[in-house]
Amino acid sequence: MKTVIFVALPALAHASFEEAEGAEGWVKDHNYFRCLHGAEPVEWSTELESSAQAWADHLAAEGGTLEHSGSYSSAPYAGENLAMGYGSAPAVCNGTDSNYNQHCAVWNWYNEYNQFMKGHCDTWKDVSGIGHFTAMVWKGANKIGCAQSGDYYVCQYGHTNCMAEDPNGSNYGGRDCFEGVPSKLANFNIGLCPEDGTCVGCRDDLLENDAQARLEQCGAGPVEETVWERQQQPQQQVPSAANTLSVLMIMYVLVFMQVLPNHPFAI
């Protein structure tokens, strides 16, 4: 699964919403986006939380690049999303906190759907570039544990329901539980994962276009309004030093990733 760094977005006008923090906020944010894609809600796992906290503390102590923990070789296995962010938060996720926060991390992970899959989800088969999104809404995940340490954010995902046939030909037991992250997100849109055959569902058309239906069915999201419903306006105010640093960092990483696509920032 690829790793997210701080992403600067234009400032956007927004309305108020009910924001939850800590474990409640992590669960609420994930379940909102899972609901949009027809996935059952996840519950909080103190075991995964402890594991995520230990790795977040490690990343904060080491500093520098992001790298995944050994969660893939633990028992039971867990998927993992990482983020690192600091400075002023994009208005799309700042809520009551103007600094980069856990809601920004979740939104950055989910936004891969809007960037790569929106409009052609039914035919999308390339999982590169969308590993964070798929981890969040994977229908086989039923528990999460997340943590923050300094500028570092870690979420780990437990898989106990969903099993799929490996695209390379290996079969891990049909509908039986495969306690791990399916190889290469096995059978992304086809296979033996729940009864409808989809491990990751497209965004519901009704919920896509009806804000009231989203609120009634999925509750309030981690962002104040859905980005797909409004125009992004250029930022009018003079950029702060933190925002300027963020933009320079993004430019550097984009160039760096072109030279070294397998660098840890892009795993």
Domain residues for the domain of 79 are: 4-262
Residue 61: count of CB within 10 angstroms of its CB: 10
pLDDT category at 141 given cuts 50, 70, 90 is confident
pTM equals 0.68
Is pLDDT of 169 > 60? no
pLDDT category at 32 given cuts 50, 70, 90 is very high
Does residue 54 sit within a domain? yes
- Please, what is the average pLDDT of the chain? 66
Is pLDDT of 28 > 60? yes
pLDDT of residue 212: 85
| Overall residue count recorded for the chain in this entry | 267
The domain tally of the chain equals 1
Question: Residue 24: beta bridge partners?
Answer: none
Q: Give me the helices (H) in the chain, please.
A: 22-36, 46-62, 102-110, 112, 131-137, 205-209, 211-218, 241-259
Dig out the tokens for 175 from the structure: 């509908």
- The CATH number for 64's domain is 3.40.33.10
pLDDT category at 208 given cuts 50, 70, 90 is confident
**Half-sphere exposure (Cβ direction) of 267: Cα atoms closer than 13 Å:** 10
Classify the C-alpha dihedral 114-119-42-133 as positive or negative. Answer: negative
Average pLDDT over residues 121-149: 80
DSSP string spanning 90-101? PTTT-TT-SB--
Does residue 267 sit within a domain? no
Which of 139, 145, 116, 107 lies closest to 29, judged by CA? 107
